[in-house]
Structure formats: structure tokens, C-alpha cells
Structure 1
Amino acid sequence: MSEDRFSLLIIGGYGTFGGRLARLLGDEPRLRLLVGGRSLEKADDFVADLRTPKDGAEGLGSNNLGAMVQAVSFDRDGDLTEQLTRLRPHLVVDASGPFQSFGKDAYRVVEACIDLGIDYADIADSTGFVAGIGGLDAAAKAKGTFALSGLSSLPALSFAALDAMTPHFSRVDTVAAGIAPSAHVKIGLNVVRAISSYAGRQVPVLRHGQPASGRGLIDAMRVTVAPPGVKPLRSRKFLLVDAPDLKLLPARFADLKSSFTGVGTEPQVLQRMLSLAARLVHLRLLPSLLPFARLLQRASHAFAVGEHRGGMFVRVGGVDHAGKRLSCGWHLIAEGDDGPFIPVIGVDALVRRLLTGVRPENGARPAAGELQLADFEAAFQRFSITSGISMENEETPLPLYQRILGSAWERLPPALAALHAGGARVASGRARIERGGGLLARIVARAIGFPKAGEDVPVTVRFVRDGDREIWTRDFGGMVFRSWQAEAKGRDRDLLAEVFGPFRVLMALVPDGEKLRLVVRGWRFLGIPLPMFLAPGGDTYEEERDGRFHFHVEIGGRLTGLVVRYTGWLVVE
């Protein structure tokens, strides 16, 4: 029976990423899955665990184990020809690493596979390793095999996202990408060692169209990871990391002027300490952070606080086909334990394509552009992973809500899309208004000008565009109050900012079936950030009912209790 199966050897098969790949592919009955590593005992333990049903993401494969799974001993420093001949895999996937430390014989596994006519892939994130595999291209073609390096988040997924966005551009000027792991994910030691190897050292980047030297884990950019229509991650700084994209991008885009790849971890205070340590290396007060890799790993595990969500982004800036400035962003958020599966989803997609007879071209090369974004999105369906693209033409801006929602705008019901279509417009209808009875609630309501309580109150809302913002003038039976809305900037980018007098409330626009929810993600008083646990909250949403736009606005807080709640409907005149 095993002779009829596609044989896959995973080097590092019981490790952080190899183990997740084995779980992903465990449900595939056409596979003979060889879980390999130096320790046969650890491989045996992993396979036994894989065969134990589990809940959640860790149960992938285990709960429907169709693959023939076998623990094997494999030493990458041993006699590779003997081991590979004995195991007879059709495909070898190297998920071990760190690839940065493989030394002068870095490609000995790849070369052994090519010599024996075995296909090869890896999830390397080492710039030198991924970019250098092309030196084996002629040998791989001569043997009729393929060898793909970097079939991971960077560069395989990042380039798939780029390929989905670049058709909108006539010229690409800037590219930035970053990964934001959940604080609750247990980062493997090899990953920490890889990052430590270039902390404080020079990282080749592009600036103003010229090669330049960035500073690893020191240079930074702030990004809010915000897929269209999903509650975004908290804004964070991404520190420069050495990723294959930095080497591959200039060859892809001849006019590229700047490039950046980064990592943004939580808690940010721990990341700031890491950046400070990198500065000590840069100033030659420390030789390297490599000796502290295990300590850094333990610290990341000990300070696992914050949201259990991770994300990724790819941003592109340039000129569209009409000669206008255009910026485009692809963002992804993974909930809970699903994020750590993303680095191996590319290999999962490759294997499943091979099983259907779809084979990459022969040759050795980086995996950038090898898969399409649709290949990854199909795999995302097995997880709580959401991604999407948003675009902004700087000279012909879209309506405010469409600009923030990006591709999620298409999911809005017609009545909601009509109300937020942009430009000067008037909508009228009826409303029911409730007011909180607490002293502080009454003071806040009076200061902002919220309407008094009432039933079946006539309401009119006038929308006026004023530059990049919209002024909303609400008239509840003669009681008028105003606010203005705009797309937040800087660290709060991709959020909706609504300003009531001295207060600025930052909200995520989240489509939820027939509803559009407005979820508070921050607030300011006179520009000063205020604690989230005191932020105004409540169940606020818009929805379409019977072809009409309906609203449900609830404003309150821990200190005030309910301030105001108004519900009703509107029709655009």
C-alpha cells in the first residue's frame, strides 16, 4: 500500500514548524509521511502524539489521520546518500534550520536530493540561503528535479500578495512587509537564533533607489495590521529583519526606491528592550546576541501578555496606469493558535498540488512567486485566518468608509453602501432615544450635545465632505449635534476616527453578516491617549432591514454607565 503513496520526508519533522506541517498534511490518505530528525525517540513520541485526537488547530490531521505516518532517524550531517536511498522519498522538505548557521556546506542536503533525482523544498528565511540556491539551477534541471527555497511567509506568501496587487501599478516605488506574531505563541529556539544572528548588524535595504545598510532590530516603522472588515491588531512598531525579500525585490522591480521587512512583537516593551540590546551590538559594546538566544526565548515565553492574535502585512506604493499615485496594502490576521501554521501553508499547498499532478518547473530557485495568493487563501479556510487588500488613490480618493473597508466594502448591504457613498447628501427617518440617568452621564451628554430621550423622534442627518473628512450634522427633532469622521493617520491608520468636541474615538469597521459593527480601539482627549478600560463602549452597529438603513448607537463607559442609546432608520433623500 505504501508504494502507491506519495512519500514525503520532513527534516525536522517533530520541530516547531515541521511538526505543524505534519499536522496539516496528516489528513491526506495519498501520503506516506516520514517524520525525520536526529532523535528517533523524539520522532516516535511526536508520531504517537499526532495519532491522539485533539481540539482546535493542534487537532488538524490528528482527528482524521489518513496519511501513513512513520518516525525515522535522519541526520543532515550524516551520510545523506545512504539515508535518502533507504527512505526513498519523492519530496524532501527541510523544516529544520536555522539556515543562517549552515555554513559552507549549506546546500549539502539540496545537492544530495538533486543527485538522487529527489525534489526538494524548504521554509528557509535566510537571505543568503534562499537567494543562493539558484546556483544549483543547472544541476536540478539536468536531473529533472525542482528545488524551491523560502516556501514560507517571507518570501513565498509576501510575493503572492505582491503579485495580487502589482497589476494595479505601472510602477512600484516602495515595498514593505512585516510579521506580527501573537505574544502567546511559543517561539522556537532556532527562530530566536536566526534573529539574534543579525541583531545590530548591517541589513541590506534600498533607500532612495540606492543600496543602503539598515540596522537589524533597530530601524523601525509603525504599522496597524488591519485586514478589510476585521478588528485590527493594536498599532505597533516593526523592527527591521533580514529576510529574503530584501534581496529579491530589486530584481523584481527595476524602479524600486525603498524596501523594508520587519517583525512586530508584543509586548512592545519587550521588543524595545531587544532593540536596545541590538544597539549595544551596533555600538560594539556586545559582540552578538547569539549567546543570549535561549534567554531571549525564555523572556518571550514568560511575558506572553496581550491579544492572542497574530498578523502580517505587505504594502506597496507607486503609480497606477493613469499616472496617479497609488498605495495598496494586503493585511492578514490569524486568531489564537492558527498563526504559527502560516509559515508551512506554502509547503502544504505545494504538496497538495503535486498530488493532483500539478508540478513546478524543474530547476533550483527561490520560491518567491511560485504560488498564487489564491493557493494560500484556500488553505486559510481551514483556520480562523482573514486577509484582504485595500487600495487608496491619493489623487482620486474613495468615499471614507470604502477607503477604510477596502475589499470588505463589497460585502456591505446596499442600504449601508448608499448611506456611505460619499459626497454631500441628506438622510432622514425616525429614532428612539434613551439617556443614562447618572450624574456623570448627564454631564457628558450635555457637554457633547446628545439629544434628549424620546420616542419616534424625527431625525435628519446631513453629510458634508470637508477635505479628507466628513462632517455629520444630526438633527433629532430640533436638537442638533455635530461630529466629524475621517480615516485615522499614523499609528492609528486603517481605523475610523470620530471627533466629538475634545474627544476623538478610534473605531474598527467590522462587517458582520448584514451588520457593520463599529468597534472602539482607542480614544483621545485633546490628543492625549486615554486608557482603553475607560473607553466609551457599547453595542454600536448599522444594518439593513426591509431595504432600509437601520442604526443602533450605544455610548457609555465604566465611569458613566449608559450615556445615550439611539436606534432607528434612515433613507437617503
Structure 2
Amino acid sequence: MSDERFCLLIIGGYGTFGGRLAQLLGEEPRLRLLVGGRSLEKADDFVADLRTPKDGAEGLGSNNLGALVQAVAFDRDGDLPEQLTRMRPHLVIDASGPFQSFGKDGYKVAEACIDLGIDYADIADSTGFVAGIGGLDAAAKAKGTFALSGLSSLPALSFAALEAMAPHFSRIDSVAAGIAPSAHVKIGLNVVRAIATYAGKKVPVLRNGQPAAGRGLIDAMRVTVAPPGVKPLRSRTFLLVDAPDLALLPARFADLKSSFTGVGTEPQPLQHLLSLASRLVHLRLLPSLLPFARVLQRASHAFAVGEHRGGMFVRVGGVDHAGERLSCGWHLIAEGDDGPFIPVIGVDALVRRLLTGVRPESGARPAAGELRLEDFEAAFRRFQITTGIRMENEAARQPLYRQILGSAWERLPPAISALHAGGARVASGRARIERGGGLLARIVAGVIGFPRAGEDVPVTVRFVPDGDREVWTRDFGGKVFCSWQVEGKGRDRHLLAEVFGPFRVLMALVPDGEKLRLVVRGWRFCGIPLPMFLAPGGDTYEEERDGRFHFHVEIGGRLTGLVVRYTGWLVAE
């Protein structure tokens, strides 16, 4: 094996997260990658699978290995100095866990690495473990090595997002963060065990600026994860989890009054049952949920229903530099199987920086603030991962569409952004109208007041602001019908709500090249939620064509068929 390569040992290298890290780094030709664990057989099988080409695969998982990959047996309870001396890694990544259960000898791997002058990092999510790594700081500095703990979603990525938002504030009062995994991701047993250790137990948080005892998997907050310009996740409840951020935030923000870290899983009814079980622990009717960890894992796998998308948020509240109240949120959505790579992307970024000669300062410390948001976003571009920041300042309310789109507003073509610039305005043009022929479609169209079918029909649209909503009055050749639009509240946050008579349709605003798509995400009748599979559908979008605003509105459903379709163009008067 060539000594010219940078040697990296991944402990737990064939596990849930270690395996994904091996996938990420396996294509890097400057690496010698040691995939380690107690079972050499499992490590061998994993490496063999990593090397096996997948038909039609591209990018990650294509198995175009550039790294020199080797399976090794590594026992964290064995003779650590002997194993590390024999393998001679430059960097050890501990991706095993659960770190909550390591006990008094929890740092023995980090200590052995420091003694031998080997750099160390882990993806620990245990508050005590991450916060306590500083006890090795003097020893690491004396050896000229670094030991970074918690190089994962919480706290490394969450703090990177925090640092990106902090310059907008003169004072930060509250911080909340949460992870929303896809229901279709197979959660590892160690992850479930880690969560079970504090279910129903006391979790240290801040309330009103004072240390307080939260209740693990019982205390909750509702959040809609919604990066600007993409379909948001469905609004969900996040349950309090014990994450390193809770211990690290007060030292970073001296004026902090409240803190929260949570997890929001799907399906939500299953999460509600988990919260009820946690209450039994809190009431001391059960000693712990840890004995039920395997049952909980199997249940999460058996009830994998819902969208195959995951997400994360970091929300900050405080005062801006003008003295006004400001809230700011960083949001992330990962499509499909890309979400489980997020916890190891920080390690991937660290390794690639090391390969270019950029090295962390010597010493042992939590990884919070070690990487910038830009480091993560560079890695996100290899995946279907979208992130963005939303800022909400009540004193400087934006026009409706700009408020909902956030930073994605800047991606709109000029003709679309001009039409939604806010204020009272009028636009006129021509339209083609089609109507559905079914009885139910005709009834719905009559109730709402949709125009009759016609070709080259003159159309005028008046936009009138009315508080936080916007009234649209459409005149198609003398046939007038109205609707009003507003940003959704509560569980409908970050969605555009359009009201036609008794119907309220909730839509995501999604820029797509020269188009702005309006994607239905829910609907109500007289305030009553209706089944999504019966929601009005159709291809609805606005676009700029030849410098002019064009619209394409299609409304229909499973029961009604096509109700109405109108297409055409508008020019502001």
C-alpha cells in the first residue's frame, strides 16, 4: 500500500453512517480508506459490495473507486495502541455509537489517538460526550493533534447555519433546530437506542434565560421545513431530543433566552405513540424505552409511509441592528435517499480540506463552528439537497409572493416579479378558456364563478392589497370572478393560500427556469381539511415568454375531471 496516500480509518465503517461516509470518500484517489469494525467478515462484504459496479449507476453508488479501500478488523474494546500502530492512520473517524452508552471509558479511542499523534473526529450526537471532549484539549495540543467531536448535523451543520444568520442580529434571544428524516430511511438500531436513552427523561434546555428541565420526546413545537423555492415538507410536530447544541448554545450567545432541538418523524401518528410511551417513562410507569429499541426500530421500518423526502431547520429569533424584532430560518430539504448522507457530510468536508493542506487548530473541542455553511453547501451540490434562508421582519413586510419565496424571489424572470411587485395594480391581455363537460365540474365552476369557454377573450386582472392578503378580481370578457390570496399560517406556513368561495387551496411557489409553478399541497372546504388525493390538480404555472407575462391555469380533480383551463398573457397597465 502506498504511503503517499492519506490514510483514514472509519470505525463502524460498514454501519449506517460509516458506510455512507465510505461511499462519499471512496472515489477520492488521494485516500487509503480503512473500513473497520468488530466483524472482519462484515467489513469484507461491505468493501466487496462497494467495489461491485451497479448497472446504470451514476455519481454516488456508481462504485467508481479511486481510493485504495481495505476492510480491517477493529475492536474498540481491544488493544487500541496496538491496532492503531499497526494500521498507521493519519485520521480516525468514529462513526459507531451510540455515544450515549460509552460510559466512563467513552474517550478511550480519542485518548489512544492523541497519545499516538493521530488526529481524531467523530459524529457523536450525545450532549455529554460532545461537550466533554474539551477535557482532552491540553493533551491534544501537547501532541499537535486535533480531536473534534460532533461533526454531524447537530452541532456542526446547525452551528454553521447559525453563524451564517448571526450577522443579521444585534442580539439573539432564541434558537431552535430540528431534523425531519424521511419515513422511508431505514433508521439504524444505534440511533434508536440513543433516542430511547432520554425518552421521557429530563433534557436540559433554556427557558426565559434560565436553565430548565425539558421532557425528552414529550415537549414539542410545530415547524414547516421550507427552503425558499421548493415544495416544503408537510408541517409536522418536532419532539424534544437531547442534542449537543443545548449545552453549547449558551456559551455562544450570552443573551440567549430559549433553546430547543427536536426530531419530526413520519408518519406523525407513530411519533405521537412514541411520545405517549415517553410519558409513561416520565410518570415512572416504565423505567426506560431502551429495552424496546428493537421494537421501535421495526415499527419505524414497517410503517414507512409518506413522501420520500427529509429535511432540517435552524430558527433564530432576536433583534436586528435597527432595534426591530427579527426572525430568521435556515431550511434544508433532501430528496429520496440523499438525506442520510447529511450527518457525514461534515466529515467529508473536513477530509477534503485536509487533502488541500487546510488543517484545524490543534486541540480537543466540540465541532460546533468548525466548518462554514459554504463547506457543507459545496458538498450538497453532489446531491438533491436544497437549502436557503428565510428572514421575517414584521416592520418591513414584503409583497405577498416575495414574502413566501424568500431568497428564491431573485430567481424569478422580470415579467413575473413585476406582476407580483405588490400594491394596487391592473394588468390586461387575452386568454383562451376551456371548460369541463361533466356535471360535477359544471357545478363547481358555477359555484366559484369561472368564465365560460372562449377563444381570444379579453381579460383584465385587478390586484388590491387588503391587509396581509391580496384580492384578485378577474374579468374575462365581462364575466367577473374573485379570489383572494394570503400566506398560510400555522401548519400552512410558507404556502400560498388562495380562496375561491368556500374552497381554500394551498400551493407551494416553485421557481423552475423561466416558470413559476404553483404546486397544490392541500385544500379545505369551509375550513375542513379534505383528502389530498381528491385535491384540485393540473399543471398551473406562470412564465415569461418573449419578455411578456404568460399564465397557464388548470383546475380539475379525480371526481370532477377538468373544471376549467385558462391560458394567455397579461401586460401591466
Q: Does the pair score TM above 0.5?
A: yes
1:151-230 matches, cutoff 5 A? 151-230=151-230
- The percentage of aligned residue pairs carrying the same residue is 90
Q: CA deviation at 1:318?
A: 1.2
Q: CA deviation at 1:270?
A: 0.8
Question: Cα deviation per residue 1:384-436 (whole Å; 9 max; x = unaligned)?
Answer: 11111111111111111111111111110011111111111111111111111
Would you say the 8 A contact 1:548–1:569 is kept in 2?
yes
Report the 3-state secondary structure (helix = DSSP H, G, I; strand = E; otherwise coil) of the residue aligned with 1:229. coil
Q: CA deviation at 1:492?
A: 1.1
Farther-moved stretch of structure 1 (251-260 vs 87-96):
251-260
Q: CA deviation at 1:57?
A: 8.4
Would you say the 8 A contact 2:205–2:258 is kept in 1?
yes
Question: C-alpha distance in 1, partners of 2:520/2:144?
Answer: 56
Note the residue ranges of structure 2 that are not aligned, 5 or more in a row: none
Aligned-CA RMSD value = 1.2
Report the 3-state secondary structure (helix = DSSP H, G, I; strand = E; otherwise coil) of the residue aligned with 2:130. helix
The one-letter amino acid paired with 2:419 is L
Report the 3-state secondary structure (helix = DSSP H, G, I; strand = E; otherwise coil) of the residue aligned with 2:3. helix
Q: CA deviation at 1:189?
A: 0.4
Give the corresponding residue for 1:486: 486
Question: C-alpha distance in 1, partners of 2:401/2:22?
Answer: 42
Question: C-alpha distance in 1, partners of 2:298/2:558?
Answer: 36
Question: C-alpha distance in 2, partners of 1:118/1:380?
Answer: 28
Give the corresponding residue for 2:296: 296
The one-letter amino acid paired with 2:263 is V
Give the corresponding residue for 1:247: 247
Give the corresponding residue for 1:43: 43
Question: C-alpha distance in 2, partners of 1:79/1:56?
Answer: 43
Question: C-alpha distance in 2, partners of 1:339/1:507?
Answer: 24
Question: C-alpha distance in 2, partners of 1:424/1:393?
Answer: 22
Report the 3-state secondary structure (helix = DSSP H, G, I; strand = E; otherwise coil) of the residue aligned with 1:19. helix
Give the corresponding residue for 2:393: 393
Q: CA deviation at 1:232?
A: 1.2
Give the corresponding residue for 1:82: 82
Question: C-alpha distance in 2, partners of 1:514/1:53?
Answer: 38
The one-letter amino acid paired with 2:368 is A
Give the corresponding residue for 1:118: 118
Give the corresponding residue for 1:515: 515
The one-letter amino acid paired with 1:404 is I
Question: C-alpha distance in 2, partners of 1:395/1:347?
Answer: 40
Farther-moved stretch of structure 1 (346-355 vs 443-452):
443-452
TM-score (norm 1): 0.98
The one-letter amino acid paired with 1:346 is G
Would you say the 8 A contact 2:36–2:71 is kept in 1?
yes
Would you say the 8 A contact 1:327–1:394 is kept in 2?
no
Structure 1 residues 42 and 364, CA gap change in structure 2 (3 angstroms)? same
The one-letter amino acid paired with 1:546 is D
1:55-454 matches, cutoff 5 A? 60=60, 62-454=62-454
Q: CA deviation at 1:63?
A: 2.5
Structure 1 residues 62 and 500, CA gap change in structure 2 (3 angstroms)? closer
Would you say the 8 A contact 1:156–1:371 is kept in 2?
yes
Would you say the 8 A contact 2:54–2:61 is kept in 1?
no
Question: C-alpha distance in 2, partners of 1:412/1:2?
Answer: 51
Question: Cα deviation per residue 1:53-98 (whole Å; 9 max; x = unaligned)?
Answer: 2369896265210000011111111111111111100000000000
Question: Cα deviation per residue 1:241-288 (whole Å; 9 max; x = unaligned)?
Answer: 000011111111111111111111111111111111000000000000
Structure 1 residues 557 and 370, CA gap change in structure 2 (3 angstroms)? same
TM-score (norm 2): 0.98
Would you say the 8 A contact 1:25–1:61 is kept in 2?
no
Question: C-alpha distance in 1, partners of 2:185/2:55?
Answer: 17
Report the 3-state secondary structure (helix = DSSP H, G, I; strand = E; otherwise coil) of the residue aligned with 1:382. coil
Runs of 4+ in structure 1 displaced over 3 angstroms? 55-59
Give the corresponding residue for 1:472: 472
The one-letter amino acid paired with 1:126 is S
Question: Cα deviation per residue 1:199-219 (whole Å; 9 max; x = unaligned)?
Answer: 000111111111111110011
The one-letter amino acid paired with 1:418 is A
Give the corresponding residue for 1:2: 2
Would you say the 8 A contact 1:57–1:337 is kept in 2?
no
Note the residue ranges of structure 1 that are not aligned, 5 or more in a row: none
The one-letter amino acid paired with 1:538 is G
Report the 3-state secondary structure (helix = DSSP H, G, I; strand = E; otherwise coil) of the residue aligned with 2:249. helix
